[in-house]
Structure 1
Amino acid sequence: MNKILAASAVLTGALLLSACGSTGAGTPSSAPTVAPAAAGGSAQATSAPSSAAAAPEAAQSSRGNLVKAVGEPASQTYNGETVATFVAAAIEPAAGCTAQFASAPKNGQIVVATFNVETTAALSKTISKNFSLNMFGWKAVAGNGTTVNGNPVAIMCLDSAEQLPSTMGPGEKATGKIAFDVPAGAGTLVYTAPGAPAGWEWSYGK
């Protein structure tokens, strides 16, 4: 697990975050991005060149994250090239665990999100040459705005056959689930790449 964390941190710390607003998977339109930090500096938010046909910028939450709906793609880029696109295909509140020795939720309920993930050949140009969405970089925010303590990912909840692969290489596709232990009621799931100033978020519940 430490190896996965280290690889993810190295890759995503250098990745640019972008909103994918195109109708074709893995082909983002003009959207806000986060540029990599120069030596001794900090990352700065930049915008792609505008045009008359450019899609409107994605909505941002009060936390500064790009707000995504179920079925809406998000993507990570490296040196201006898309390396991975991921879509929350479904988000199920009050879901049940499927692993044989799963424990009851500590925070109130289990929310299960199904993701479709696709990487591109450009992932091979990154330092780690892999992509991970399965474990690190997640947090949950309850409906009253309180951030859940600790990592909300419920590691032992789902049967291994259902889980999203822990890492993916260039030119791969996968569909899998991630379970989250969160407070009862509505809330928000937030994913931020390590070292990035902002990420993406998905609402769940009513």
Structure 2
Amino acid sequence: MRGIIRMKKSLPWLALITVLGFSLTGCSKAPEAAQAPPAPVVESIAGTPSTSPSPSEGPKKSPRGNFIKAPGETGSMWTGADKKTTVVFTIHSITVDAPCTGAYAQPAEKGHFVVLDASIETTPELAESSFARFDLSPHSWQFVGENGTTFNGSLASGASYGCMTDSEILPINGVGPAEKVTGKIVLDVPAATGTLVFKPLGGSVGGWEWSF
């Protein structure tokens, strides 16, 4: 099952953003102005992005317009008319108040550490995109409380970055083409229960979310 999100083309300052769009060039005897890359497409899938599901088979969405996911389910991104997959990612588990292992670990600044075990696999086609890196950075996440209120602050903090050792966390600079990585994401959240929302940096109009 999969759903499709159209992403806006606003590009934030972070180099490790997730905007996946191919640059097109024209072939002509006369010089041609460079064309803007087409709007990239994000797809949440449980298989391959070969066909579009019927409305009755589409993935469940939250009232916020995000795909509702459970640990172990897969999401992906693709681009182009031929729907070449560029990124596949999975949140395997969500652990609340996980113990820190860093040498200089400190208590959570906002209340609780939530640790996600994740994996990311990219294809060579990612190199053809305008921004050839994918990232599950804490800056790309939001927390929604059980009362439906979205936390205004960042889920990244000095304490969250120091909670785990460098060898345990996902690469801080994101993942490039044809790479496969596993690691942890540490989020600093204000409550022990709620919903985590991942929205790729770059102006996505939707995302994915996990309740815990």
Q: TM-score, normalised by structure 1?
A: 0.77
Runs of 4+ in 1 over 6 A off after TM superposition: none
Distance 1:69 1:49, change over 3 A: closer
* Unmatched segments (≥5 aa) in structure 1: 31-47
Residue aligning to 2:62:
61
* Unmatched segments (≥5 aa) in structure 2: 1-11, 22-37
Say if 1:114 and 1:176, in contact at 8 Å, map to a contact too.
yes
Say if 1:29 and 1:55, in contact at 8 Å, map to a contact too.
no
Residue aligning to 1:76:
77
Say if 2:18 and 2:135, in contact at 8 Å, map to a contact too.
no
What is the CA deviation profile of residues 26-70 of structure 1, one whole-angstrom value per residue up to 9, with x for unaligned ones? x2354xxxxxxxxxxxxxxxxx374xxx98211101111001110
CA distance in 2, matches of 1:55, 1:19: 16
Q: CA RMSD in A?
A: 2.4
Q: Which has the higher strand share?
A: 1
CA distance in 2, matches of 1:59, 1:29: 19
1:130 and 2:136 correspond: no
Of structures 1 and 2, the one scoring higher in RCO (CA 8 A, sep 6+) is: 2
Residue aligning to 2:205:
197
Q: 1:28 corresponds to which letter in structure 2?
A: P
Q: 1:92 corresponds to which letter in structure 2?
A: T
Residue aligning to 1:163:
169
Aligned residue for 2:125, secondary structure, equals helix
1:111 and 2:119 correspond: no
The worse-fitting range, judged by mean Cα deviation, of 110-119 and 72-81 is: 72-81
Distance 1:20 1:29, change over 3 A: farther
Residue aligning to 2:43:
18
1:90 deviation in Å? 0.9
Q: TM-score, normalised by structure 2?
A: 0.75
Q: 1:60 corresponds to which letter in structure 2?
A: K
